[in-house]
Structure 1
């Protein structure tokens, strides 16, 4: 099995090394006659810097995802739904077991796509039908869900702006997929709210 954390660390290390090499090469080509080549190298150095920080963010997110699963995974029993993220990590199925790693009725991961509204509704019904909420906590949970819905909507709007304004394909893709993921969160929170009300 592939050690995901090791792969992410290696990517981050390689990007750091590449960035240093680009800087070194740019320093050697200061003569104006190399201007066109320098601009090309500079752009690739900028891309490499972006990649380095994306890899760093992935490493940190992976570490925190593992910590969350360890803290809130509840059990080692495989049948229980709360254990699915732990299983997905242990079996190397996903890097970070967020909402997009939910398995759809078709047997595929939800991925970055939002399934058609009916499919998402059906999926959420399956996932939320057996959820037991303590009656004394319903008002508190509803209040938090409403606040989260507001935050998710604002994040979705901001990612939408970034997606429209971004030229770099990585930033555009990250913004677009983050916007889609926020939309998924909003659907889940809305369904949770409906269950409580």
Structure 2
């Protein structure tokens, strides 16, 4: 608890203006008063707006596996397109052979083998596409799928002995973090509660 309080004090004294000097979200203004002392009961956690965080806001998509899977390997895109990285997430499954479902409605835009793995891709519209591997599917290109509909069966091999599916999301040629369409990944900041500022 002491470490948390010290970290919060450091954060507030170096980065946050006094509660009475915090500008409106759309206006950038310099603080006009010295930072207020830390009062644990006077602050609450809030999320930064999506435009500030640079991450898509949660879009209400569904997990492609059930029950809710563990993230075995996170999104780690390379700095340059030609460098190595992880352009999606690996989600743990209860077993190989389980169903993979559409996280959002769309149209099947690809079903086939890439290198040595079966892949299925769903076009969700607005330039967004989800791809899953290794997934065997009987669906054909052009088929419509509803959110939550089974699109294929998970095969073994991607994560060694741990059954998992690799899920990637792209908007055009840009890879996005698939979890940002399910979870709120925006950073949290301490904001003063109403009426907690100095009188």
TM beyond 0.5: no
Higher relative contact order (CA 8 A, sep 6+): 2
TM-score by length of 2: 0.22
TM-score by length of 1: 0.22
Structure number having the greater helix percentage: 1
